[in-house]
């Protein structure tokens, strides 16, 4: 389906063309990080739509679907920003049911969410399969932390200063804008732009 051309769509087409130029064949994961309320999910949805427009099979996931339950987080102590930053997400499940099976190129099904954080309840797993050539667009907080960063083929960070205490901790440990990620200023959502330098 052809999208309506706007400055945002034009920018995302240029970005997706650059992503696809380096993708080759097989499975690829694009990950989007940024401070809380920076628009990661919307950016991921829009980027996925533009990549689909280019004729590629795209799957979407969010770290929101890989929260630990409140009871599982309580094992790590009091509810603090540091606990949330370090233990709020189930990275083992992310790897086990999404990243690793997705990487197997169509021979294994994968799951895009394990928990509904709003209800603090497990979701019925929906095992998905796809073609050998496919792209996963994943958004979420802390996905560029060092222990996860090597999982992504294309890292994207939405620019912005951390204000939330958990984000402040994350950026103090490893500012995702200072790595190899593509940094995008999406604060004016109608006119996103690359941050150079």
Q: Give pLDDT tens digits for 57-115.
A: 999 999 999 999 999 999 999 999 999 999 999 999 999 999 999 999 877 899 999 99
Q: What is the mean pLDDT of the chain?
A: 95
- Tell how far CA 4 is from the center of its chain: 24
Q: Which CATH class is domain 7-189?
A: alpha beta
How much of the chain is in helix, strand and coil states, percent to nearest 5?
40, 20, 45
List the chain domain ranges: 7-189
Model pLDDT, residue 24 = 66
Dist. CA 76–CA 84, nearest whole Å = 9
Strand 154-158's sheet: what is its strand order?
58-62, 134-139, 27-33, 154-158, 182-185, 193-194
pTM of this structure: 0.95
pLDDT of the residue at 98:
97
Average pLDDT, integer, range 119-146: 94
Helix (H) or strand (E) holding 32: strand 27-33
The tokens for 157 are: 């960070």
Residue 196 pLDDT:
84
Give the Cα separation of 141 and 72 in Å (integer): 19
């Amino acid at each position: 389906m052809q999208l309506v051309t706007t400055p945002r769509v034009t920018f995302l087409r240029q970005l997706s063309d650059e992503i696809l130029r380096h993708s080759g064949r097989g499975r690829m994961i694009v990950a989007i990080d940024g401070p809380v309320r920076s628009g990661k999910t919307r950016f991921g949805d829009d980027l996925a739509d533009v990549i689909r427009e280019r004729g590629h099979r795209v799957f979407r996931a969010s770290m929101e679907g890989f929260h630990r339950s409140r009871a599982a987080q309580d094992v790590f102590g009091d509810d603090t920003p540091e606990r949330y930053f370090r233990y709020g997400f189930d990275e083992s499940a992310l790897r086990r049911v999404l990243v690793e099976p997705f990487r197997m190129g169509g021979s294994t099904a994968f799951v895009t969410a394990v928990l509904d954080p709003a209800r603090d309840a497990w979701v019925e797993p929906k095992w998905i399969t796809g073609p050998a050539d496919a792209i996963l667009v994943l958004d979420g907080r802390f996905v560029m932390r060092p222990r996860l960063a090597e999982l992504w083929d294309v890292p994207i960070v939405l620019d912005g200063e951390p204000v939330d205490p958990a984000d402040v901790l994350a950026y103090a440990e490893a500012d995702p804008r200072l790595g190899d990620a593509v940094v995008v200023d999406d604060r004016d959502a109608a006119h996103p732009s690359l941050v150079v330098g």
